[in-house]
Amino acid sequence: MKKFFLGLAALGMAITLAACGSKTVATTSGGKVTQDQYYSSLKGTSQGKQVLQQMIINKVLEKQYGDKVSDKTVTKQYNSYKDQYGSQFKSVLQSNGMDSSSLKKQLRSNLLLKEAVKDNDSISESQLEKEWKSYQPKVTVGQILVSKKSAAEKAIKALDDGQSFTSVAKKYSVDSSTRDKGGKIPAFDNTNTTLDANFKKAAFKLDEGKYTKEPVKTEYGYQVIKMLDKPAKGKMSDHTKELKEQIWNSDMSNSDKLHTVVGKVLKKGNVTIKDNDLKNVLDDYLSPAAPKAK
């Protein structure tokens, strides 16, 4: 259930650097800890430097691309994750060390980074053609999930005997979230990373109205799949926008690509490090030896 959050680019950190000052952070029987002491100690650690890097990156991303990412867009993406996990959403957040507020902040950071990728990524015709080969418009399917192959075979026989997919799903499926809905799951395309690969492969082979004649073995058990809606693929020229989106989304998982893009964004951001002890904190991104995009 963690797959969705693990797919987010690493732009969120669990801590933030405290502002410098003499204000007391904590008191003990052995004396007090001030903000200055805390800052001095933290800035010398690799984690502290990573936090500062991230704070700077977020600042420049917000300045350069903030007007392209609306609160509405962040909320829409947040709600899509919330709908997907349903009643387990809160526990998934907790297992990833997050709450609703931190997730929204991370989603915004990732959306800003994606805008930077789009702005600094020149997509060639050959890249579009390569992406087109695996392109599949969003399809909608129904599925029956069971734990044993024999149960899946019984469900398929019932379908062969003329029983409706809805009734068979209700009778056999162990997926409580879909069995009373004819097994219907949210539409998905070739870029989906939350569904089992065998499930997607079997689904995409089906014509509209057809169902799998053999049980499909997946990480969840055995599944019977019916294609409910399968739009025609059409011509590549009709899907240029979607293909570019898929390439950009793929680049969001490419660490070398992100490294290069962040370096370009930082150079435009006129960043000046005032603390001499931290003057090299951005060298990973700005030095000539920084990784190049593949």
Q: How many structural domains does the chain have?
A: 2
Residues in the chain: 294
Regarding whether 114 and 259 lie in a shared domain, the answer is yes
pLDDT band at 268 (very low <50, low <70, confident <90, very high): very high
Tell whether the model's pLDDT for residue 176 goes beyond 60.
Answer: yes
Average pLDDT score, the chain: 89
Long-range contact pairs involving 178-181 (C-beta distance under 8 Å, separation at least 24): 178/142, 178/143, 178/145, 179/144
Q: What is the mean pLDDT of residues 74-83?
A: 92
Regarding whether 140 and 114 lie in a shared domain, the answer is no
Regarding whether 155 and 60 lie in a shared domain, the answer is no
What is residue 16's predicted lDDT score, i.e. its pLDDT?
A: 45
Name the more confident of 278 and 2.
Answer: 278
Does residue 131 lie within any of the structural domains? no
What is residue 12's predicted lDDT score, i.e. its pLDDT?
A: 45
Q: In terms of Cα–Cα distance, which of 168, 182, 94, 35 is closest to 85?
A: 94
pLDDT band at 288 (very low <50, low <70, confident <90, very high): low
What is residue 13's predicted lDDT score, i.e. its pLDDT?
A: 40
Regarding whether 61 and 15 lie in a shared domain, the answer is yes
12-21, 151-160, 208-217, 249-258: which has the minimum mean pLDDT? 12-21
Does residue 243 lie within any of the structural domains? no
Q: Kindly state the percentage of the chain with pLDDT values over 90.
A: 73
What is residue 193's predicted lDDT score, i.e. its pLDDT?
A: 86
What is residue 8's predicted lDDT score, i.e. its pLDDT?
A: 54
Tell whether the model's pLDDT for residue 10 goes beyond 50.
Answer: no
Does residue 105 lie within any of the structural domains? yes
What is residue 144's predicted lDDT score, i.e. its pLDDT?
A: 98
Does residue 130 lie within any of the structural domains? no
Regarding whether 178 and 110 lie in a shared domain, the answer is no
pLDDT band at 6 (very low <50, low <70, confident <90, very high): very low
Q: What is the CATH number of the domain that holds 214?
A: 3.10.50.40
Residue 202 C-beta-side C-alpha neighbours within 13 Å:
22
Tell whether the model's pLDDT for residue 294 goes beyond 70.
Answer: no
Regarding whether 99 and 17 lie in a shared domain, the answer is yes
Residue 226 forms beta bridges with which residues?
142, 211
Domain enclosing residue 154, as ranges: 136-229
Look up the pTM and report it.
Answer: 0.70
The residues, any chain, with a CB within 8 Å of residue 206's CB and separated by 6 or more, are 141, 212, 225, 226, 227, 230
Q: What is the mean pLDDT of residues 178-195?
A: 92
Name the more confident of 21 and 170.
Answer: 170
Q: What is the pLDDT of residues 95-143, one digit of tens each?
A: 988 999 999 999 999 999 999 999 998 899 999 999 999 999 999 999 9
Does residue 248 lie within any of the structural domains? no
Does residue 163 lie within any of the structural domains? yes
Tell whether the model's pLDDT for residue 71 goes beyond 80.
Answer: yes
Distances (CA, A) of 267 to 8, 159, 160, 249, 283: 24, 61, 63, 23, 11
